[in-house]
Structure 1
Amino acid sequence: MSAAVTLALLFFFSVALKEVKGCSCAPGHPQQLFCMSDIVMQAEVTGEKIIHSGGIIPGMGKIQYKIQVIEVFKGFDRINEIQHVYTHEMSSMCGTKLGRGQYLLSGSITPEGFFVSMCDYLELWNKLSLMQKENLKYRYLMGCTCMISTCIEKPCQPSTKNECILTDWSYLWPFEDGKSVHESACIRHSDGSCGWYEGTGKPSENDTMNVSEV
């Protein structure tokens, strides 16, 4: 491995972790965060309360947010009767603060309920672009069997037909809103390969395989 590539890798890993007071999150394309989540939905946050765990250590409780589900994008069979979403009270444990309003929420189902963290795909709904909303509704789920990889040394070529390559590192910095990488979706084409979809609306059958066939 060349010295230039080694330096690039060191730089990549030094900036790749989003760290807030002890909470470190590996970066990910929005589609990767979508596919790793048990549930992804649009929901209205209508209230919150702190739930203390024994009341012994301040800040070690959970925040319970009351929500009203508006639309589900993933986890349709697990959404029944979900009225609350939970997060850790402390940011050092990756807890996240949500105000009242509509959000894109993604997270994991645990024995304690539906949990979200600052490492998940969370965003105020009105901050998402039309393309991002269409990706959530029509495209991301179709690409969950595809692999998204980051290329740091050109030329960049997929190692398998199941792979989409990222050459835009802007997704590493959350403040770089509006970059093209956030607008893209990696989907499976009718020939079985994966590639970046650049169209609008729902992909046609000529563009993708049926999800049930994957």
Structure 2
Amino acid sequence: MPGALPSLLAWLAVLLLARARPADACSCSPIHPQQAFCNADVVIRAKAVSAKEVDSGNDIYGNPIKRIQYEIKQIKVRGGWQEAGGPGQPPRRPLTPAASPQMFKGPDQDIEFIYTAPSTAVCGRLLDTGGKKEYLIAGKSEGNGKMHITLCDLVSTWDSLSPTQKKSLNQRYQMGCECKISRCLSIPCFVSSSDECLWTDWAMEKNNVDGRQAKHYACIKRSDGSCAWYRGMAPPKQEFLDIEDP
């Protein structure tokens, strides 16, 4: 009996480690919002209206895979114009703005459902389902009006975004998706190629990944193939694209 005690303790230790492992299973490296945009298949502005746990097939052992299914509503904005009159109406009738779902990147189809893992321990992303909180959501497409998000994807409340970030979603971030944004861990740090932008928020602002460059800058590819940070809400001038120091 005494000899069995060490074996029992060892077995208990294995069980404890197995239970603890999922809590450490999700680890995300900080990335600039533009990188998150470029890495995503779908980028939308939406709010979650309901959530439920669903089965998504089985794992290799035959156990059901659980996921959270969020029903969402994309936020509609005044993005175009259509005639107020119907068929046969005079062409000079006044025009009224048409509201369309706000999708910054993705398929020509509204997103209806978002899926994620059931807890943050396994990289699940929790959304408020009160229907009042608007989010910027970036993730992977699953087709047929569905997408998947993880804790490592860009999911931010719309109100927390800077005006520059909101403006950059329409075109500017896409202009730099062929560029490389490298996180500077400590000063000094240097670029290794001309198509690289150094992200220094982490080093300059005490490990802050939501600093000045994240809030106000986009890495833009210029006409000679080099990349440089661009600041501001206005579209980049042609002189900047034709190589002008930012």
Instruction: Provide the TM-score with structure 2 as the length reference.
Output: 0.66
For 2:103, the equivalent position in structure 1 comes to 72
Alignment gaps of 5+ in structure 1 = 1-18, 210-214
Supply the distance in 1 between the matched residues of 2:232 and 2:213 (Cα, whole angstroms): 14
- The yes-or-no answer on 1:95 pairing with 2:127 is no
Aligned mate of 1:31, from 13, 29, 34: 34
One-letter code of the match for 2:70? Y
Supply the distance in 1 between the matched residues of 2:171 and 2:56 (Cα, whole angstroms): 40
Aligned mate of 1:131, from 164, 169, 174: 164
Supply the distance in 2 between the matched residues of 1:119 and 1:51 (Cα, whole angstroms): 21
For 1:145, the equivalent position in structure 2 comes to 178
Aligned CA distance change for structure 1 residues 53 and 192 (closer, same or farther; 3 Å): closer
Residue 188 (structure 1) shift: 1.0
For 2:49, the equivalent position in structure 1 comes to 46
- DSSP 3-state at the match of 2:38: helix
1:51-200 to 2 correspondence within 5 Å? Answer: 51-53=54-56, 60-70=65-75, 71-75=102-106, 78-99=107-128, 100=131, 101-110=133-142, 113-152=146-185, 154-169=187-202, 176=208, 179-183=211-215, 184-200=217-233
Residue 69 (structure 1) shift: 2.0
Residue 173 (structure 1) shift: 8.3
Residue 152 (structure 1) shift: 4.0
Supply the distance in 2 between the matched residues of 1:147 and 1:108 (Cα, whole angstroms): 20
Bigger Rg over Cα: 2
Aligned CA distance change for structure 1 residues 79 and 68 (closer, same or farther; 3 Å): farther
Instruction: Provide the TM-score with structure 1 as the length reference.
Output: 0.74
Residue 149 (structure 1) shift: 1.3
Residue 189 (structure 1) shift: 1.9
Residue 207 (structure 1) shift: 3.0
One-letter code of the match for 1:103? Y
Residue 171 (structure 1) shift: 9.8
For 2:88, the equivalent position in structure 1 comes to none
Residue 130 (structure 1) shift: 0.9
Residue 31 (structure 1) shift: 1.1
The share of aligned pairs that are identical, in percent, is 38
- DSSP 3-state at the match of 1:182: helix
One-letter code of the match for 2:40? S
Structure 1 residues 80-110: Cα deviation after superposition (integer angstroms, max 9, x where no partner): 1421111111222101110132100000123
Supply the distance in 1 between the matched residues of 2:141 and 2:204 (Cα, whole angstroms): 26
Alignment gaps of 5+ in structure 2 = 1-21, 76-101
Given that 1:189 and 1:206 are in contact with CA atoms closer than 8 Å, whether structure 2 keeps it comes out as no
Aligned CA distance change for structure 1 residues 97 and 172 (closer, same or farther; 3 Å): farther
Residue 120 (structure 1) shift: 0.2
One-letter code of the match for 2:117? H
Aligned CA distance change for structure 1 residues 54 and 34 (closer, same or farther; 3 Å): closer
- The yes-or-no answer on 1:206 pairing with 2:239 is yes
- For this pair of structures, how many residues does the alignment match? 187
Supply the distance in 1 between the matched residues of 2:204 and 2:178 (Cα, whole angstroms): 21
Given that 1:28 and 1:172 are in contact with CA atoms closer than 8 Å, whether structure 2 keeps it comes out as no
Given that 2:218 and 2:229 are in contact with CA atoms closer than 8 Å, whether structure 1 keeps it comes out as yes
